[in-house]
Structure 1
Amino acid sequence: MEFYNLDDRYNDKPIIIDYRGNLLNKDKYKKINLEIKNNIKKRTLVFLFCENSIDCISIYISLLNNGIVPVMISPDLDEELCNNLINIYKPSYLILNISMKKQKFDYKKVLSNGDYIFLKTDYYEKHNLSDELAILLTTSGSTGSPKLVRQSYKNINSNASAIAKYLELNEYEKPITTLPFNYTYGISVINSHLLVGATILVTNKSIIQRDFWDFVKKYKATSIAGVPYTYQMLKKIRFFDMDLPYLKTMTQAGGKLLVELHEEFANFALKNDKKFVVMYGQTEATARMGYLPHDKSIEKIGSMGISIPNGRFELVDVDNNIIDTPEVIGELVYYGDNVTLGYSENIEDLSKDDERNGRLVTGDMAKFDADGYYYIVGRKKRFLKIFGNRVNLDEVERILNSQFTENELICSGKDDNMIVYYTKLLDEKILSDFLSDTLHINKSAFRFKKIKNIPKNESGKILYSKL
């Protein structure tokens, strides 16, 4: 049985529409699927260089349906880092846009689908892949780390089903792609909408481009997904003034949204008959673990909500004891069928079965309120000890960016030495005084550094390791 049985979900309607007006329907997909089925054996490892296009997504669906395991790779990955990954995992095929071949690869073309080509590599060894393994995602799309997350067929189906349930998705949805396809959030949008038979609007245009909004209006996109940076940009381009009556749902994940921005979008949604849904997740949990119901978006501002359907949260203290008292901070632990199999750091790890058994220690510090709604307060490792005081860097960033709204400030450093990075001119003395007064810590603990840009990955997450 196919993983995505498109015959049951799509009749005369298109599966995908791209911004040029091209369509993928059932008949076109069947042709692509048959060619892949006849040319690539089951349980073969391939590298899929992902982009938001009909060609790429149709290949992805076919790979899943035929038991072929893709490593989802950013097409912008540095050539040296990319070759390192290839040498480590030795894929049998590279599947990529033809424009990439001229830049990087000298392998024989054996198959094509539109602008995408299949290159047979020189690695002939058979990979020993776990029967459960469906896809592999990088933990950080731009670093080329060999550490991959192993997702199973059960993980993908479980998470897509839960997302479809709490967002109340149906076949009439028309989501538009706003995130990279190799990113866990981006691929979860694709998976959850394929599950319900919705038509997906696919574009690689940015939300700051007029072509993107022309596409939204022409095909009446019903939902948009974004990371915090997306919502910062939406506000800057005057999204609140746009006339988009058919756009009914806005989802946000990929990091904590500033409380002020959360409030603005939640109020906008409430006044305009739309849903604003804040979500929480990690690649290690396939995608989503928690969500804030849209009808609680004002009442519970700052919360990431409750667990997804068929999932469960708990908090544990430093001794691994369960915390059952509201407003007490502990480490967040998640339980569910979407918890992935584990990591892979080399080719031998691909044969491993489930190492997590449905339990994920998230590394996030959180608390819950009297109603059972959870609030992320920071990362376990994003704490410094400054003159004996335990300081949450994520919380300091939130406070700084709320106070100095014309700048973007981020924090890093080591014990007794916090570094604040900023991008626009500001008075460091004022900043130092503010930090000292707010945190009740001597000014000597703080250093400041102006940089041109805050390093971020393709999904907008800050790359603290680059600082």
Structure 2
Amino acid sequence: MTVLPDQLPGITSVPFALGLAAHGERTAVITADGPVSYAELAVRVDKAARRLGGERRLVLLVGSNTVDALVVHLAALAAGHPVLLVPGDHPEAVQSLIDAYDPDIVARPEGGEMLLDERREVSAHELHPDLALLLSTSGSTGSPKLVRLSHENLQTNAESIAQYLDIRDTDRAATTLPLHYCYGLSVVHSHLLRGAGLILTDLSVADTCFWKLFEAGRGTALAGVPYTFDLLDRVGFAAMELPHLRYVTQAGGRLAPDRVRRYAALGRAAGWKLFVMYGQTEATARMAYLPPHLAETHPEAAGIAIPGGSFRLEPLPDSPDENTGELVYSGPNVMLGYARTPDDLALGRTVHELHTGDIARGTPDGLYEIVGRRTRFAKILGLRIDPGQVETTLARHGVTALCTGDDETLGVVAVGGHDSDARRIAGLVAHDCGLPARAVRVRILADLPRLPTGKPDYRAVRELTRRAPDTATGPAATPDGAPESLRMLYARLLDRSDVTDDSSFVSLGGDSLSYVEMSIQLEERLGHLPPGWHTTPIRDLTEPERPDASRRRTLETSVALRALAIFCIVGSHIQVFGIKGGAHILLAVAGYNFARFHLTPVERRVRVRRGWTSIARVALPSMAWIGLILLLGDDYTFANLFLLDSVIGPDDLKTGMHFWFIEALVYILIAAVGLLGLPAVDRWERRFPYALPLTLAGLGLLTRYELVGLPHREHIPDAITVFWLFALGWAAAKAATVRQRLLVTAAALATVPGFFPGDPGREAIIVAGFALLVWVPRLPSRERLNHLAGLLATSSLYIYLTHWQIFPLIDGFSRHLAFLASLLFGIAYAAGAARLMKALSARRKARGVLTGRGCGRGPAGG
């Protein structure tokens, strides 16, 4: 079977996309969910092509490393529809390009599926017959300047790459780079051309699960930009056993010669080859490669032209060296030209050879070496400076840096351990370039700013160094709130090593347990807490203020309620006072935070994984503490240890109910995560984020009012009778309008009264706490009060766990002292547990990267 050869008569398509079925039952794609054969892939591509229709239209595809995105991409190429491939992790860029090019069809992932938004049946644009693909050269910025690529460009470049890499149908390449990036896309095209397999994943090479998948899929090929090799060094790649690995490719920027030499030697010893490559989006992907046998002896070279291509050097003005000039490339993979408006989609070829903008030198061995960038030269105070050469010079001094320049200053962003490194680096640059120190501005970061592809983000470098202090007149101190400071804060509090400017609290897996400390420390850094900060990228949280220590602050209501609730729970149990209802407020807050931190736009599997992690963070410390107490006394049973007291009793042990709240919370979370693990429920939640929890709350009222024939609530687990409070908290978080907030508040006002007969004060406290949660996002506070509330809220689980054992030791002497001791012990236990979990996590990561453990079932190979 082939894909619709007669669907669009007279329309050109890409041969390798049209002929997938010729590879039969060979494995085409391997994912964590299992393999997909070429025959299966061809059927899915055929179905998608028919869905795209018989009228040629512009398809904007939101790229992702998924089978669904790959199918739509191949279907469009096979059926002749031009594809505008855009980054899936930058909604702003997607919308910008939709606005600029008005595509006829928008294909984007939603609810775990690829949805096709067919905006019109007939294209609004005049589309040139040769036009196959549109790619951006500016990463994730959403710039309307696009590269126009033809069907011939895609086919011939895939053929050239497959030829010099000697790709075989037994090869399996991992998608270590995004689909929307020309390098990542070339890996896909060249391997599908030869009937080879793709290990399709969006996992980083720093992730243990990537290596589990790579090993199970018998991976033979890895592709990386220079930053990828930084990550490989961090995870101990040199010590890994990868018996099927045949070749590693590198492009997307210059890899330092010493690292080329080292990786080439590593490959020679381990039995795989290193291909250093050179390319640009304007050449579809690749223009040159360095034969592997030359990598150790000529590590500085870009190599030779790919099969079918050729280079020439165009002399530079006033340059006496005839072996040096701008590198100009010719070949069938050279783009048709650029597009800046929809009208340009009608253009044919406007470019016949590619002026790369790179300055190169020809060597006696027939190789080409890139020595500079023509368009990156800056004339600073009358001196012509090549920022790329400055980067190379700093590298020789052991400094990893990115540089940009304008008419007055040279900006340097460098990796360093301390801000005092800035003055030393500025001195090196000023001396080597002949610039005064005042013309060099240096920023020290924990890591260099990079685009999602891993390539340097020079726009960020310009912005960062523009705000840097004058290194000549003072230390390059990083103001609180600067991007690198926030990245370090996020990395420390969330125990993550992959924090970038595009990361947010939620995208990094933050949850309600880490939210409190992060929100309080962030407000200290910024002087305020921006609305929606938990889903805001770090780069957008970089407008710091230096508030006076006495300045009034605010405290998020959810944090305040957690702190007040645990305060009241413990005080009531010790009978210091009698303010009850705190535990039920905490259930509503738990539902509220569940919706905020787990019901994000990430795919279903990520939601479920993070949900189980949160359950473990509640259940495991609880079981550890109960197990310890079980060894020391007879107040509890094994039912308590396994959080089953409310299910199996015994009913006559009053102390067994001490942990009813933890059991209820764990059961409810298990039910919620289990429900959302169902594809249909996951889709419903994304489509009806407010209606679903309100419906669940309605179902919960059936048990709250004992309407379904269950035993009396004293004889069934509390989770069943209090679930409606959790669901209402969930609905409160998703209430986006005044009407929705009024409805959820009315539901609480109508259903809480009567839950505690004879105790209207308790019910009033629960309703008041719920109303605050819905209507008052922040409360006025002070810095010291924020710290106190943060300690209590962060430690609330541990205080609840331990106070049952602490206060009986002291309350005979003083109830108030027992109260204080219970709070302090719980806070100390929380701090110790956090340190222990962080240490265990670090050890697990260190071992897991090398062993590939902890990622579940691996895929089968075909």
Q: Structure 1 length normalisation: TM-score?
A: 0.90
**Per-residue deviation, residues 444-463 of structure 1 (Å, max 9, x unmatched):** 43232345653321111122
Using the TM superposition, give the Cα deviation of residue 409 of structure 1 relative to its aligned residue in structure 2, in angstroms: 2.1
Distance 1:324 1:381 in 2: 19
Per mean C-alpha deviation after superposition, the further-off stretch among 234-243 and 391-400 is 391-400
CA, structure 1 residues 8+390, in 2 after alignment: closer, same or farther (shift >3 Å)?
same
Distance across 2 between alignment mates of 1:385 and 1:35: 52
Q: State how far apart, in whole Å, the 2-side matches of 1:35 and 1:257 are.
A: 40
Please give the alpha-carbon distance, in whole angstroms, between the structure 2 residues aligned to 1:402 and 1:202. 37
SS in 1 for 2:174: coil
Instruction: State the partner residue of 2:792.
Output: none
CA distance in 2, matches of 1:249, 1:443: 45
Q: CA deviation at 1:77?
A: 2.0
**Cα distance 1:371–1:24, how it changes in 2: closer, same or farther (>3 A)?**
same
Question: Do structure 1's residue 404 and structure 2's residue 398 form an aligned pair?
Answer: yes
Equivalent in the alignment of 1:133: 131
Q: What amino acid is aligned across from residue 441 of structure 2 in structure 1?
A: R
1:228 paired residue number: 226
Q: Where does residue 201 of structure 2 map in the other structure?
A: 203
Counterpart of 2:410 (choices 412, 418, 439) is 418
1:370 is aligned to: 364
Q: CA deviation at 1:124?
A: 5.7
- C-alpha distance in structure 2 between counterparts of 1:67 and 1:428, whole Å: 53
Report the CA distance shift for 1:443/1:324 in structure 2 as closer, same or farther (over 3 A): closer
Amino acid at match of 1:180: P
Identity %: 34
Match of 2:153 among 155, 160, 173: 155
Aligned match of 1:107: none
| Runs of 4+ off more than 6 Å | none
Partner residue of 2:30 out of 6, 10, 17: 17
Q: Is the 8 A contact 1:24 1:54 kept in 2?
A: no
Distance in structure 2 (CA, Å) of the matches to 1:451 and 1:240: 26
CA contact (8 A) 1:291 1:304 kept: yes
Which residue of 2 is the match for residue 146 of structure 1? 144
Question: Deviation of residue 300 (structure 1)?
Answer: 0.8
Residue number among 260, 274, 287 corresponding to 2:272 in the alignment? 274
- Counterpart of 2:375 in 1: which secondary structure? coil
Question: 40, 45, 68: which one pairs with 2:81?
Answer: 68
Are the aligned partners of 1:42 and 1:67 in contact in 2 as well (CA < 8 Å)?
Answer: no
Shift of 1:302: 1.0
Deviations 1:115-144 (A, max 9, x none): 211112268653210000011111223100
What is the SS of the residue equivalent to 1:15?
A: strand
* 1:217-296 equivalences in 2 (<5 Å): 217-296=215-294
- Map of 1:380 onto structure 2: 374
Question: Is the 1:280–1:288 contact (alpha carbons within 8 Å) kept by the matching residues of 2?
Answer: yes
Q: Tell me if 1:93 matches 2:105.
A: yes
**In the alignment, which of 336, 343, 356 is matched to residue 338 of structure 2?**
343
User: For residue 450 of structure 2, what is the aligned residue in structure 1?
Assistant: 456
What is the letter of the counterpart of residue 202 of structure 1? L
In structure 1, the partner of 2:537 is none
SS of the residue 1:455 aligns to: coil
Give the partner amino acid of 2:457.
Answer: L
Structure 1 range deviating more: 4-13 or 50-59: 4-13
- Is the 8 Å Cα contact of residues 148 and 337 (structure 2) preserved in structure 1? yes
Does the alignment pair 1:84 with 2:96? yes
Comparing 415-424 with 392-401, which one deviates more in the overlay?
Answer: 415-424
Q: Report the equivalent of 1:360.
A: 354
2:31 is equivalent to residue 36 of structure 1: no
Matched residue SS, 1:419: strand
C-alpha displacement at 1:213, in angstroms?
0.1
2:315·2:322 contact (CA, 8 Å) conserved in 1?
no
Higher relative contact order (CA 8 A, sep 6+): 1
Q: Within 2, Cα distance between the matches of 1:220 and 1:156?
A: 27
8 Å contact kept, 2:59–2:107:
yes
Aligned partner of residue 400 in structure 1, secondary structure:
helix
Structure of higher CA gyration radius: 2
Task: State the secondary structure of the residue aligned to 2:287.
Answer: strand
Q: Distance in 2 between matches of 1:138 and 1:291?
A: 23
Aligned Cα root-mean-square deviation (Å): 2.2
TM-aligned CA deviation for residue 260 of structure 1: 2.1
Q: Quote the Cα distance in structure 2 between the aligned partners of 1:84 and 1:199.
A: 34
Please say if residues 166 and 309 of structure 1, whose CA atoms lie closer than 8 Å, have aligned partners that are also in contact: yes
What is the letter of the counterpart of residue 364 of structure 1?
D
The 2-side partners of 1:123 and 1:85 are apart by 20
Deviations 1:410-457, CA, capped at 9 Å, x for gaps: 222223521222343243332233234433444343232345653321
Residues 6, 26 of structure 1: 8 Å contact kept: no
Letter in 2 for 1:435: V
AA matched with 1:61: L
- 1:294 is displaced (CA, Å) by 0.5
Amino acid in the other structure paired with 1:213: W
**CA distance, structure 1, for counterparts of residue 347 and residue 52 of structure 2:** 26
CA distance in 2, matches of 1:229, 1:165: 26
**1:182 maps to amino acid:** H
Q: Distance in 2 between matches of 1:422 and 1:363?
A: 25
For residues 241 and 80 of structure 2, what CA distance do their matches in structure 1 show?
43
Distance 1:225 1:39 in 2: 31
Distance 1:259 1:7, change over 3 A: closer
Instruction: Give the whole-Å Cα distance in 2 for the aligned partners of 1:28 and 1:272.
Output: 34
Distance verdict in 2 for CA 1:120–1:295, change over 3 Å: same
Q: Which amino acid aligns with 2:306?
A: I
- Structure-2 change in CA distance of 1:324 and 1:196 (3 Å): farther
Report the secondary structure of 1:412's partner residue: strand
Q: Identify the structure with the greater helix proportion.
A: 2
CA drift at 1:157? 0.8
Give the Cα–Cα distance (whole angstroms) in 2 for the partners of residues 428 and 25 of structure 1: 54
Query: How far apart, in 1, do the equivalents of 2:167 and 2:369 lie?
Result: 26
**Are 2:179 and 1:181 aligned?**
yes
> CA 1:386–1:220 in 2, change beyond 3 Å: closer, same or farther?
same
Distance 1:53 1:31, change over 3 A: closer
Distance between the aligned counterparts of 2:375 and 2:52, measured in 1? Answer: 46
Cα distance change, pair 393–272 in 1 and its aligned pair in 2 (3 A)? same
Contact 1:141 1:182 in 2 (8 A): no
Stretch moving more, 441-450 or 268-277 = 441-450
Q: Decide which moves more: 167-176 or 18-27.
A: 18-27
Q: Which residue of 2 aligns with 1:47?
A: 60
Matched AA of 1:45: L
Q: Assess if the C-alpha contact under 8 Å between 1:378 and 1:395 holds in 2.
A: yes
Distance in 1, Cα, partners of 2:180 & 2:314:
32
Tell me by how many angstroms 1:28 deviates. 4.8
Counterpart in the other structure of 2:71: 58
Q: Distance in 1 between matches of 2:447 and 2:236?
A: 23
Helix, strand or coil for the counterpart of 2:159? Answer: helix
* TM score, norm. by length of structure 2: 0.50
Q: Give 1:25 deviation, angstroms.
A: 3.4
Q: How many residues align?
A: 446
For residues 450 and 325 of structure 1, the distance between their equivalents in structure 2, rounded to whole angstroms, comes to: 39
1:72–1:182 contact (8 Å) kept in structure 2: yes
Give the match's secondary structure for 1:175: strand
5+ residue gaps, structure 1: 100-113
CA drift at 1:162: 0.6
